[in-house]
Structure 1
């Protein structure tokens, strides 16, 4: 029972706390829902591995406030994302857009994987034993004789 309690306590304590503070939340539940969905797709430029919804950095807090301010001004989700992209570049998006130079990066990984498989396939076809590599009956008998000694 003691171990079960310890495990449960560890699980509860390791659940990440949401960084959005109560004073940041909007009164309108529809706008707050939109704000929370936007918070999940905008990257914290200070942390770089977290979205602004889960980051406790000062920049992320300011960005969350800015998202809510832009929503109350009546801006759309795409406009808000464009607002952040204009100021911080595409690295501010958790999933970069599929266009321009990003397209090369999106295609490079799978392409390299296919080229690797093709290289392995061609190498394995080239190194198959041919008829000259197979022992004749006499050579096989001689080999067995040598191995017995």
Structure 2
């Protein structure tokens, strides 16, 4: 029974899309390639790394990354090569610099702004004067209507 639970757990785990012909002979380089490909977004599959994606471009990116590592690039150089070629979008976790600062902080700023507007609206409504008092003629007319 335990082996059945193990099989289901293994089937539920996300599988890497790396094909056997992509795997490098050098285990250390392969580990570096897997770590880097887990940080790169597939341009076709939204929010899926190139390591998990089965898209053709993800395969091309995995091969390109491995070529750069075999050529002697450091992790940072290989990553920068792909970012220069495909833009900052290719990173699953973009850096907090330049134009990305706006993207990182836009949501919290909008939340604070909405909270301030809501607070000002609530305070403004509570300060608003209640309905004006009725004059004598209006009160008399209201009393007549209510008595009917």
TM-score for both structures, normalised by structure 2: 0.76
CA–CA distance in 2 between the matches of 1:64 and 1:131?
A: 67
Which residue of 81, 87, 91 maps to 2:89? 91
| 1:39 to 2:24 alignment | no
Which residue of 116, 119, 122 maps to 1:118? 116
Where does residue 100 of structure 1 map in the other structure? 98
Where does residue 79 of structure 1 map in the other structure? 77
SS at match of 1:114: helix
CA–CA distance in 2 between the matches of 1:56 and 1:130?
A: 61
What is the count of residue pairs matched by the alignment?
A: 135
Gaps of 5+ in 1: 134-145
Which whole-Å deviations, capped at 9, do the CAs of 1:76-131 have from their partners, x for residues lacking one?
A: 11111111111111111111221211111211111000011111111111222678
Matches within 5 A, 1:2-81: 12-81=10-79
Which whole-Å deviations, capped at 9, do the CAs of 1:28-62 have from their partners, x for residues lacking one?
A: 22211111110011111122331100001111111
CA–CA distance in 2 between the matches of 1:32 and 1:95?
A: 21
CA–CA distance in 1 between the matches of 2:130 and 2:52?
A: 65
